Structure 1
Amino acid sequence: TIICATLLSLAAAEYGVEEDHHEHHQPGFSYAKFSGPVSGPAHEVHIADKHGHGHTIDYVAKPDYQFEYGVEDPKSKVSQNRKEHRHEDELHGEYTVQQPDGKLRVVKYTANKHSGFHAEVLIDGKPLHEEELAKLAHEAQEQAARAHEHHHEEPASYGGHEEQTYEGGEASYGGEEGGEEYYH
């Protein structure tokens, strides 16, 4: 898939499009790949319904899969990829994303039931130290807090006759004479 996308990019660059004085952007592309069914040893459970017919289902399946995808869009400068594979209780994966400052962040992770989740973060191929990881986490928390504060700003008033109250999970809107109260 990547080879095909590369060949298409080269062909587009070599043969181009005639000048028509309109702005043109390189097309973005993405790919996705998945392989493997959920598989594992058969664990059958017999279920009898009210008509006396029995059904058998696979109760516990061991996950066994692999997938990958990527998005490259030069116009919006989006560049991200992810791949992951799992065999029974072992999970391995990695994702890359181009940060707004142009640096490439790579996160490689593993997880299993014995040692839990572990991740290694690399920025432009260099591992981050604890202080740098703490700084990134702090910046992410500040960004989330700003988004949360923005979400709870007072709504704009358009000079209507609405009265907003909050009483035990219901919002009441009313105020015009003869009008009905609406709750939701």
Structure 2
Amino acid sequence: MGFKVIALAALVVVALARPENLPPYGYGGTTPSSGPAKYDFNYAVNDPPSGNDFGHQEARDGPNTQGSYYVLLPDGRLQKVTYTVNGDSGYVADVTYEGEAQYPTAPPRPYTPAPYHA
């Protein structure tokens, strides 16, 4: 009998401790701050001493997005990607390369054995 009273008391405590005002789950109505996305941005970095040359630009109006980005690859080519996203069509990209890939030959390094400690 004692166990039933303790179990009933614990159940009452748990029920009373439950918050009354739980937030609704799911998506609510559209508010001015949660309306369709509309933005436009771009950036670029060109630092010849470090070899960094890359950039990105994108514009979105509701479900339609278009943009491009580029990067100077280690082999000397410039990779450009132009993309669009129209509604539920998904990400559609066009990738192009400018220049010829160059692989300079590195001078051979002499073999140096790792130190051995006995």
TM-score exceeds 0.5: yes
* Cα distance between partner residues in 2 of 1:93 and 1:104: 17
Q: Which segments of 5 or more consecutive residues in structure 1 lack a partner in the other structure?
A: 1-41, 45-57, 126-184
* Offset at residue 72 of structure 1 (A): 0.4
CA distance in 1, matches of 2:49, 2:97: 23
Question: What residue is the counterpart of 1:105 in the other structure?
Answer: 79
> Which amino acid in the other structure matches residue 84 of structure 2?
T
Residue 90 of structure 1: aligned partner: 64
Aligned AA (1:43): T
Percent identity between matched residues is 35
Aligned to 2:30: 43
CA radius of gyration, larger in: 2
Q: Does 1:72 align with 2:46?
A: yes
Q: Distance in 1 between matches of 2:39 and 2:33?
A: 18
Deviation above 2 Å: which 4+ runs of structure 1? none
Whether 2:55 is the aligned partner of 1:81: answer yes
Match of 2:95 in 1: 121
Ranked by relative contact order (alpha carbons within 8 Å, sequence separation 6 or more), the top structure is 2
Q: Distance in 2 between matches of 1:43 and 1:78?
A: 42
Deviation at 1:112, TM superposition (A): 2.3
